[in-house]
Structure 1
Amino acid sequence: MAVFSGDWVLAFGILGNIISFMVYLAPLPTFYQIYKKKTSEGFQSIPYVGALFSSMLWMYYAFLKSDNTTLLITINSVGCFIETIYICFYLFYAPKKVQTIKLIVLLIVGGFGLIFLSIQLVVKASERAHIVGWMCLVFSLCVFIAPLGIVRQVIRTKSVEYMPFLLSFFLTISAVMWFFYGLLLKDYNIAIPNVLGFSLGVLQMVLYVIYKNADRTAMNDKQKLPEIPNKIIISEEHKIPELTEQIIDIVKISALLNSEKIPVVSQPINDGIEEAHEHPNFPMEIEVKM
């Protein structure tokens, strides 16, 4: 029976490694966008610094426990390596590096360094694994709770644009694998957080199924609207009322597309005609031929 249990532990551990590796690779499209734009502005470094801290903490726990933790060490070693590359890549293209550097110093150097030194110097050797295990459990729960902000955004906007289905799917499967791995090892520091991870993963996939058609409907509605011309040519034959009517129609259509009021900046030119200046949400140009 023990051999049978050991085989299942190995199987779930290997599957957990494979799926978690795919989860670690999930941000690659984000970093490809950063590479194309040559800037990381608009993207946050917090998830990657947090993931690096989590991997380091789990590795420390695995080394302290020492028995049946090889698979836990392998995946978190890979995680540390990948997250370090992500952070270096982010910093290379970051227009403002100070905030990310502060976060690294605070969480990685200060946070993990303080935990390591205090555990090694103050806590008895027999109790170290237990205490660090509880730290891993609490931090993992915090990590799994973090996506609730995305869930709230999906419900509020009725859009799954920022909640990729594949990422939610692999996170859910990963939680299942590590839950059974921890359960069979009777290591509840590993098993308990993944119950919450599985529950939130299922919730995200259910929301995706509910709201994915809403995204398609909104896209189809936008496609049905007439196109906005980017230039109007005015000649001497045009009358001011006709010009005003054209501009009002275009502003209305643009407002529908952007679901917000479009500010129109104008300045007077010859003969009382007004020229609309270029705006990020309203790229219309008026060319006057007199």
Structure 2
Amino acid sequence: MVSPDTVRCAIGVIGNGTALVLFLSPVPTFIRIWKKRSVEQYSPAPYVATLLNCMIWVLYGLPLVHPNSMLVVTINGTGLVIELIYVTLFLLCSRGAARRKVFLLLATEVAFVGAVAILVLSLAHTYERRSMIVGILGVLFGIGMYAAPLSVMKIVIQTKSVEYMPLSLSLASLVNAICWTAYALIKFDLYITVSYY
């Protein structure tokens, strides 16, 4: 008989794989941006939102906040690095007000997550409280991450082209959500469940 923990771990590994595909799905977009040295009409919103989401979930998965969440930390740490590369490319290839906006968003996110980490680790004295505070933030920013690509819908409607909304990103999001929901339901984790449901 296979234990629930083994099944959960296997699903978590699959979830990490699908999340990695999700994080890497914009690579063709960023190759194009880099070659043209222009962000064209691409929106930084999905990448900035995903970066914030990854930072919060890395914090959530730390042993001081939510023990036994190594799979959450590894994939979100990987996603954090990948999204930081994307945001850096946006900074390098955008101009003027657009560049300042992305830079300010990035600085605000880093300051916010740093403040949350300091406050939670110093003021919340139990794993349950820390998990609850960071978990609720994870749910809120997860909603933001999944809603951010909707900002591209205006461009899709105006141009009548899905060029700026890759199918691979949409499919990877769906598969990733299914895997992480299953992972969270096996050994019930309210915050991961709500975040992907």
TM-score normalised over the length of structure 2: 0.86
* 1:38 maps onto 2:37 in alignment: yes
Structure-2 separation of matches of 1:100 and 1:148: 18
* 1:169 maps onto 2:175 in alignment: no
Structure 2 residue aligned with 1:61:
60
Q: How does 1:6-155 map to 2 (within 5 A)?
A: 6-63=5-62, 64-67=65-68, 69-96=69-96, 97-109=99-111, 111-126=112-127, 127-150=129-152
Structure-1 separation of matches of 2:90 and 2:6: 40
Structure-1 separation of matches of 2:178 and 2:172: 10
User: Greater strand share, 1 or 2?
Assistant: 1
Structure-2 separation of matches of 1:160 and 1:48: 18
Structure 1 residue aligned with 2:191:
189
The 3 A distance-change label for structure 1 pair 102 and 158 is closer
Structure-2 separation of matches of 1:7 and 1:118: 34
5+ long unaligned stretches in structure 1? 196-290
**Could you tell me whether the CA contact under 8 Å between 1:14 and 1:71 is conserved in 2?**
yes
The offset of 1:90, in angstroms, is 2.1
The 3 A distance-change label for structure 1 pair 158 and 98 is closer
The 3 A distance-change label for structure 1 pair 162 and 84 is closer
Larger-gyration structure (1/2): 1
**Amino acid paired to 1:54:** N
**Amino acid paired to 1:78:** T
Structure 2 residue aligned with 1:259:
none
**Could you tell me whether the CA contact under 8 Å between 1:34 and 1:40 is conserved in 2?**
yes
Structure 2 residue aligned with 1:247:
none
The offset of 1:175, in angstroms, is 0.4
The offset of 1:180, in angstroms, is 0.3
Q: Which has the higher contact order (CA 8 A, sep 6+)?
A: 2
Percent identity between the two aligned chains: 31
Deviations for 1:192-233, whole angstroms, at most 9, x for unmatched residues? 2212xxxxxxxxxxxxxxxxxxxxxxxxxxxxxxxxxxxxxx
**Could you tell me whether the CA contact under 8 Å between 1:56 and 1:76 is conserved in 2?**
yes
**Could you tell me whether the CA contact under 8 Å between 1:40 and 1:95 is conserved in 2?**
no
Deviations for 1:3-58, whole angstroms, at most 9, x for unmatched residues? 52112101110111111101111111111111221223433333222211111110
**Amino acid paired to 1:116:** A
Structure-1 separation of matches of 2:165 and 2:86: 20
**Amino acid paired to 1:135:** L
Structure-2 separation of matches of 1:18 and 1:182: 16
The 3 A distance-change label for structure 1 pair 43 and 155 is closer
The 3 A distance-change label for structure 1 pair 173 and 98 is same
Number of positions where the alignment pairs a residue of Structure 1 with one of Structure 2: 192
5+ long unaligned stretches in structure 2? none
Structure-2 separation of matches of 1:166 and 1:146: 16
RMSD, aligned CA: 2.3
User: What secondary structure sits across from 1:186 in the alignment?
Assistant: coil
**Amino acid paired to 1:77:** G
Structure-1 separation of matches of 2:44 and 2:110: 13
TM-score normalised over the length of structure 1: 0.60
Structure-1 separation of matches of 2:147 and 2:43: 17
User: What secondary structure sits across from 2:29 in the alignment?
Assistant: helix
Structure-2 separation of matches of 1:163 and 1:119: 36
